[in-house]
């Protein structure tokens, strides 16, 4: 018995040591480009990236993914192995990258677009399944079993495991993993959208009890077009809504808070509109994300750094008139949200997607790359930038990193398809994913592909 126990114990020690050695080896891996004195330079090239406290760990070019331009990104962790995978939206599909060795990321292949190419593609993960929507006409919802990635030997052209076609195009998707419901933003129910996108719905809900065959629960236009959304089981300070499922929609000119606990009777709780002092620029309420304690909401407006008239002129009369702004909304009382603070960066530029992880806010800021903001003392309105990695090197390099990397003047945000036409500021970092256990952070760059960065020790 003692001998048997000794063998087991020794085996456990060996396995444990091997695991610790593997983790240590990953931690000691040499980055592709270390951030030194404000610059991350890739050895053997003339490519340099502005940075602070973040190293470039790995990169996958658009060439390797056989795409002209990129858009959104998300991540998946295989809980059976601990492997991490990057998922990146492209104009012609959705790419999958094994980043378990982030210094040497492996491109696994692509799920092609369901119909035509599009500048807009969004994806989220529920359990081991990926859900993809796009502004491509008649695209619908693609569902893909991510466990297929575990046995890929070479880049593969994948196919959907299921296609949900009760709506055509859509701008975004959010999934509340706690409730098992998916929420489609800016969808065209039963292909009801016309060329000008009239007929677009604001709220379309799917039950993911059967992840490969979702059930449509309800579609409601009552709360307006939502450009982006977050849905949570509420655990914040407002006891009146504790435990309720709350939908937060960024609705172009306001934020809506909706109680969607009863899918047959969603109830509008409140709306947050801009205060009068924030009216001297273009405006487009784009995306919002709650802090961990759900007391504050970080709200990004995609146009409020541009002069009025910029969009209408299609870039002919278009200048940045302010540094990047993020609105911090106090939502301690969900019925009465109010502006708490306006955070301004030290650079001019447009903000896009932003996410909170613990006490840091990760903001994809187009031509200024990824910005990381310390929000520990948000109560005292004391938040500040602690690091960044600027992926948009084309300001200096004119696309040297990617042969098709010339800046495209496109609209990465508007459901009308015209909002950013011919405006140079809509390039660079589209989105970020800061939720991996490894603390590796994804940045999807419109012009240059996928970047993997990590905070320096």
Give every CB contact of residue 97 below 8 A, 6+ residues apart in sequence.
60, 85, 86, 87, 88, 105, 106, 107, 108, 450
Asked whether residue 165 is domain-assigned, the answer is yes
Give the confidence band of 282 by pLDDT, cuts at 50, 70, 90: confident
Asked whether residue 199 is domain-assigned, the answer is yes
Find the radius of gyration of the CA atoms of the chain.
Answer: 22
Asked whether residue 84 is domain-assigned, the answer is yes
C-alpha distances in Å from residue 427, one per residue of 67, 80, 83, 167, 365: 16, 37, 31, 29, 9
Asked whether residue 188 is domain-assigned, the answer is yes
Domain that holds residue 92: 66-223
Instruction: Please write the tens of the pLDDT for every residue from 338-382.
Output: 999 999 999 999 999 999 999 999 999 999 999 999 999 999 999
Q: What is the pLDDT at residue 326?
A: 97
Instruction: Please write the tens of the pLDDT for every residue from 435-454.
Output: 999 999 999 999 999 999 99
Question: What total number of domains does the chain contain?
Answer: 1
Asked whether residue 194 is domain-assigned, the answer is yes
Asked whether residue 122 is domain-assigned, the answer is yes
Instruction: Please write the tens of the pLDDT for every residue from 15-33.
Output: 344 334 334 345 557 899 9
| Global confidence as pTM | 0.90
Asked whether residue 411 is domain-assigned, the answer is no
The enclosing domain of 104 has a CATH number of 2.130.10.10
Q: What is the pLDDT at residue 452?
A: 99
Give the confidence band of 201 by pLDDT, cuts at 50, 70, 90: low
Asked whether residue 426 is domain-assigned, the answer is no
Range with the poorest average pLDDT among 59-68, 219-228, 367-376: 219-228
What would the mean pLDDT of 82-86 be, rounded to a whole number?
98
């Amino acid at each position: 018995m003692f001998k048997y126990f000794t063998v087991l114990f020794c085996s456990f020690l060996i396995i444990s040591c091997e695991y610790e050695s593997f983790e240590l080896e990953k931690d000691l891996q040499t980055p592709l480009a270390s951030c030194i004195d404000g610059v991350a330079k890739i050895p053997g090239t003339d490519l340099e990236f502005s940075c602070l406290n973040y190293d470039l760990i790995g990169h996958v070019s658009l060439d390797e993914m056989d795409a002209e331009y990129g858009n959104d990104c998300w991540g998946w962790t295989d809980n059976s192995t601990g492997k991490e995978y990057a998922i990146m939206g492209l104009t012609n599909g959705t790419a999958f990258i094994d980043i378990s060795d982030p210094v040497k990321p492996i491109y696994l292949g692509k799920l092609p677009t369901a119909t035509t190419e599009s500048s807009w593609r969004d994806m989220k993960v529920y359990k081991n399944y990926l859900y993809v929507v796009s502004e491509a006409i008649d695209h619908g919802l693609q569902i893909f079993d991510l466990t297929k990635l575990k046995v890929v030997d070479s880049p593969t052209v994948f196919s959907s495991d299921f296609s949900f076609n009760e709506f055509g195009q859509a701008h975004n998707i959010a999934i509340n993993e706690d409730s098992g419901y998916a929420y489609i933003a800016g969808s065209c129910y039963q292909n009801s959208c016309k060329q000008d996108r009239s007929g677009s719905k604001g709220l379309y809900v799917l039950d993911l009890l059967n992840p490969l065959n979702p059930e449509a629960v309800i579609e409601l236009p009552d709360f307006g077009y939502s450009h982006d959304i977050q849905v949570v089981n509420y655990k914040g300070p407002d006891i009146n809504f504790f435990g309720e499922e709350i939908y937060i929609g960024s609705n172009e000119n306001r934020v809506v808070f909706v109680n969607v606990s009863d899918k047959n009777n969603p109830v509008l709780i409140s709306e947050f509109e801009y205060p009068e002092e924030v009216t001297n620029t273009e405006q487009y309420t784009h995306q919002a994300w709650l802090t961990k304690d759900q007391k504050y909401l970080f709200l990004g407006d995609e146009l409020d750094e541009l002069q009025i008239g910029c969009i209408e002129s299609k870039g002919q009369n278009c200048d940045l008139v302010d540094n990047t702004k993020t609105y911090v909304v106090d939502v301690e009382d969900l019925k009465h949200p109010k502006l708490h603070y306006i955070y301004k960066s030290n650079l001019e530029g447009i903000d896009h997607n932003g996410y909170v992880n613990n006490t840091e806010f990760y903001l994809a800021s187009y031509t200024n790359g990824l910005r990381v903001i310390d929000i520990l003392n948000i109560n005292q309105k004391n938040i500040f930038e602690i690091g960044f990695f600027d992926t948009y090197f084309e300001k200096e390099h004119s696309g040297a990193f990617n042969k098709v990397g010339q800046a495209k003047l496109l609209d990465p945000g508007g459901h009308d398809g015209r909002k950013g036409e011919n405006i140079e500021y809509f390039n660079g970092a589209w989105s970020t994913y800061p939720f991996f256990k490894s603390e590796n952070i994804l940045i999807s760059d419109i012009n240059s592909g996928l970047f993997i960065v990590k905070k320096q020790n």
